[in-house]
Amino acid sequence: MKTKTKDKRFATSNPAARGEPALWTMGGTLVLGIFMIVAFLILVVWNGIIAFYPQKIQKVVLMDGRIMAGEPHRHESYKPQPDHLAALPADVRQQIRENKGFARRTLYKTGNFDLYNEDYKWVDDFDVKQVTEPDGLFYIERIEWGPFIGFIQSADFGGVTLLPGEADFLDKLHREHAQAVERRNEIARLERKEIGDINYRLEEGRLALKQIEMASGQQSVRYQAGLKKFEAETGALKETYRQLETRADALKTEDQRFNLVLTDIEGRPKPIRMSEIVRIYAANRLSLAGKLGVYFSRWGEFITAEPREANTEGGVMPAIFGTLLMTLLMVIAVAPFGVMAALYLREYARQGHLVSIVRICVNNLAGVPSIVYGVFGLGFFAYTLGGSIDALFFAEKLPSPTFGTGGLLWASLTLALLTVPVVIVATEEALAAVPKSMREGSLACGASKWQTIKNIVLPKALPGIMTGLILAMARGAGEVAPLMLVGVVKLAPELPLDGHFPFLHLERSFMHLGFHIFDVGFQSRNAEAGKPMVFVTTLLLIFMVATMNALAIYIRNRLNRKFASSHF
C-alpha cells in the first residue's frame, strides 16, 4: 500500500511560517513612524510660516452694544456651561441644542494690554451683532506692552500737528517713524556701546588696581604708581562719559518732540512717542505687496533683533548665536576625546573582561537622564573647577564669580560628556568595519601600528566617525534640561562675543533656542501670545539642526568618496 507524502514545496505555505505577519507588522510600524514625523513637521512648518503674516482687523459690535476690535486668531466649538446656557435667550439655546449642545466662538487678538489687561478675548458667535473692517484701524507694534490696535487721533512731528485725513499722511508718518527709529538706535548705540565700553574700562582699571593691592598692599610703591595711573585714566574716561551722556540726552530731548495720540476702538486716548513704535501699518488698507513687506520685515526682525516683551515678541538673534556657538564648542570638545577613547578601546586595549565592562558602562551612559549631567556639570565644572579658577586667576573679582557659575564653557563641556558615548560607540563601529586585511598589508609593508592607524584605519573610518558626530551634534543642539543648570538664561544682556579682549568670553551666560521655546511656551504671561513664537522658534531650531546635519553629511560623503578603495 502506497503512503501519500506531502510535497516539500508546499510545506511552508503557511504565511506565518514565511514570516509575512512579522513583515507586515514591521512595515506598518515604519510607515506609522514616518507618518507621525511628517505630520509633526507639517504642523510646525505651517504654523511657523503663517505666524508673521498680517491679518485684517475686525470691528465687532456685540449684542449688548459693546465694541471691540482685533485680529481673528482662531475659531473653535465648545460646550457652554449650564449656568451660562440658562442665561442665554431662548432662540440661542434652541440653536445650541440643535447643534448637539455645542456653540462656536472666535478668539480675537485685541492687543492694548496696558488698557485691557489682556491680549486676547473670546467672542461667541451668537453674541455678535455686526462685524466690519474699517479702513482707519492701525496695527501698531510697540517696544513695550505689545501691539496697540486702534486709530490715530493726531500726530505731532516736531511742533507740526497732522491729522489722519490730511494728504500724504501715511507717507509722512512712515518717514518720521523711520527717522525716529534711527534716533532710537543711535541712543541705544551710545548707551550700550560707547558708554558701555567706558564702564567696562573703568571696571577693568578698578580690578587691576585691586589686584595690585592684594599682591603688594596699599602702602607699596607699586600700588601708589598704579593708583596715580588709574586716577589719570579715570578722569579722561569720565570726561568722555559726560560728553557721550550729553549727546544721548540731546537725542532724547529731540525724540520727545515726535509723538502720536492713539485711541482704541472705544475712543480712549493713548499718547506714545514715535521711537517707541517698532512697526505701524493700516491693516485693512494693505495690498498683497504691503502684507508681504510686513511679513518679511517681521522675519528679518525675528532673525536679527533681540527679544522683547518677555520673549513673546522681537527676535531671537542672541539665542541663535548662543545655540550655534555652544554646539560648535561641544563638537570641538567631544570629537577628540570620543575618537581617542574609541581608538584605545579598539586598537590598543587588550580585549578582556575589563574592556567589556568599560564598553557596557559607555553604552549605559547614553541612557542616563540628561538632567543628571546638568547636576554633575554644575557641581564639578562650575562650582569645583570654576571656583578653583576664580581663586587662582580672578581673586580680585571675588565674591562675584567669573567661572564659578554657569556659563558657555561649562554648558559645552556638559553636553560633550552627554554625547561622548554616542561618538565612542559610532567610532568603534567604524574602526571595526575597516577590513583586517588592510591593517595586515600596511604592517607587512613595514609600517608601525600608529602609522597604520593614522594612514590607513582612520581615513577609512572617517565617514563612520562623522556619523557619530552628526548624531552627537543633533542631540546636543536640542538639549535643554542640563543647560538650565549650567549657563542658559532667559535673556542675556551681553553676547559671549564682543570687542573686548579676549573677545570670546566663555564664562558668560547665554541664550539657547531650546530654552527659549520652553520659556515662551510655559512661562509667558499669556499662552496665546507665546504660541506663534513657539512654532516659529521650533521651525528655526529644526532648520538649524537640519542645516548643520546636512553640512556634516556632505563632508562625510566627500570623505567617503575620497578614501573609497578596494580591499586588500
> Which of these, 192, 195, 178, 150, lies nearest to 275 by C-alpha position?
178
Residue 365 has what pLDDT? 85
Element at 536 (helix H, strand E): helix 527-563
pLDDT of residue 27: 86
Q: Tell me, what's the pLDDT at 566?
A: 45
Q: Please state the domain count of the chain.
A: 3
**Do 101 and 171 share a domain, yes or no?**
no
C-alpha cell at 460: 577609512
Residue 500 clears pLDDT 70, i.e. is over it = yes
Q: What is the pLDDT of residue 478?
A: 83
Which residue from 301, 322, 341, 285 is spatially nearest to 409, judged by alpha carbons?
Answer: 322
* This prediction's pTM: 0.88
Q: Which residues are registered as beta bridge partners of 156?
A: 161, 259
User: For position 502, what pLDDT does the model report?
Assistant: 84
* Distance of alpha carbon 387 from alpha carbon 235, whole angstroms: 34
- Final residue of a structural domain among 256, 273, 298: 256
Is the Cα dihedral 40, 41, 46, 47 positive or negative? Answer: positive
Q: How far apart, in whole angstroms, are the C-alpha atoms of residue 357 and residue 362?
A: 9
Are 246 and 282 within one domain? no
Q: Do residues 329 and 408 make contact, with C-beta atoms less than 8 angstroms apart?
A: yes
Contact indicator for 195, 248 with CB cutoff of 8 Å? yes
One domain, residues 97 and 177: no
Extract the C-alpha cell encoding 242: 559726560
Domain annotation covers residue 485? yes
**Which range among 116-120, 294-298, 498-502 shows the weakest confidence by mean pLDDT?**
498-502
pLDDT digits (tens, 9 = 90+) for 159-211: 888 888 887 888 999 999 999 999 999 999 999 999 999 999 999 999 999 99
- Crossing angle of helices 458-478 and 527-563, in 10° steps, is 180
Task: Check whether residue 471 and residue 556 sit in a common domain.
Answer: yes
260-308, pLDDT tens digit by residue? 999 999 999 999 999 999 999 999 999 999 999 999 999 999 999 999 8
> In the numeric block, which cell numbers belong to residue 358?
568599560
Cβ density class 362-397: b for 16+ within 10 Å, e for less: beebeeeebeebbebbbeebbbebbbebbeeebebe
pLDDT number for residue 17: 62
Residue 174 located in a structural domain: yes
Asked whether residue 3 carries a pLDDT value surpassing 60, the answer given is no
333 and 431 together in one domain:
yes
Look up cell 578653583; give the residue.
388
pLDDT at 154 over 70: yes
pLDDT at 497: 85
> In the predicted model, is pLDDT for residue 243 greater than 70?
yes
Task: Tell whether 241 and 389 lie within a shared domain.
Answer: no
For residue 35, tell me if it sits in a domain: no
Q: Is residue 394 part of a domain?
A: yes
State the Cα–Cα distance between residues 185 and 251, nearest whole angstrom.
11
CATH of the domain at 389: 1.10.3720.10
Domain with 511 in it: 317-563
pLDDT tens sequence across 410-427: 999 999 999 999 999 999
Find the mean pLDDT for residues 110-126: 91
494, 433 in Cβ contact below 8 A? no
Does one domain contain both 99 and 76? yes
pLDDT of residue 92: 86
- pLDDT digits 0-9 by tens, 39-83: 999 999 999 999 999 999 999 999 889 999 999 988 999 988 888
- Rounded distance between C-alpha atoms, residue 317 and residue 296, angstroms: 16
CA dist 396 to 211, 212, 214, 504, 508, Å?
A: 5, 9, 8, 21, 18
State the cell numbers at 144: 513695550
- pLDDT tens digits, 521-541: 888 777 788 888 999 999 999
In angstroms, what is the C-alpha Rg of the chain? 33
545 Cβ neighbours under 8 A, 6+ residues apart: 473, 474, 477, 478
Same domain? 203 vs 177: yes
Which of 256, 272, 307 terminates a domain? The answer is 256
- Whether 450 has a pLDDT exceeding 70, the answer reads yes
- 201: cell is 574700562
Do 104 and 178 share a structural domain? no
